[in-house]
Structure 1
Amino acid sequence: MSPTNNHINYIELYANDLDSVKTFYTNVFEWTFTDYGPTYTAFENSGLSGGFEKTDKPITNGALVVIYHNNLENIRLKILDYGCKISVDIFSFPGGRRFQFIDPTGNELAVWCHE
């Protein structure tokens, strides 16, 4: 599919440890990765392509990436099993429910589902 003007096309995040971030997203969300050298890995199978760039700097989140999953409780437990923290527990909003978590390298993301 070719990119569409004004649509989100790719997401880049930072990671202090590419191996741990790949293990986490592969096992929890079944994403696939392609390494491009020692400091960059791209991901697919996530609904939107993106990548993680290795950094030694502290990670400050500039965007909240939201992932869909039809079973919040199950995916929340899986995230906790990997030692990650829930930053905002499950709450309802018009049309659905969601929670936020901190991934292995400090990025904050959210997972949502329909009501």
Structure 2
Amino acid sequence: MARLDYLELPVGDRAAAKRFYAEAFGWRFTDFGPDYAATMSGDTDVGLDASPEKVKALLPVIRVEALEATLSAVEAAGGMIVVPIFAFPGGRRFHFRDVDGHELAVMQAD
């Protein structure tokens, strides 16, 4: 079953963003390299992306069990793949635009 699993935020300064969310909400972050950190609560988590390749807007991430089948379903439903399947620490994912132009990602955990 697919579910909203993650929300990725583009940030200018990862350390400042971590500090803000820790102070405002008590969130704890795990660092994944110099430009990325994420909560690891097991619920809907938040990623802070300060990399040069970061997305321009909030990026909802949907978790699925079958990545390739979901990619085919997204295309068949009229979605446009904008980033093909790639690996990242913890799984694989792709990005697509829905019929209204919103960018989302779909991931399958390792």
Normalised TM-score (structure 2): 0.49
What is the TM-score with the length of structure 1 in the denominator? Answer: 0.47
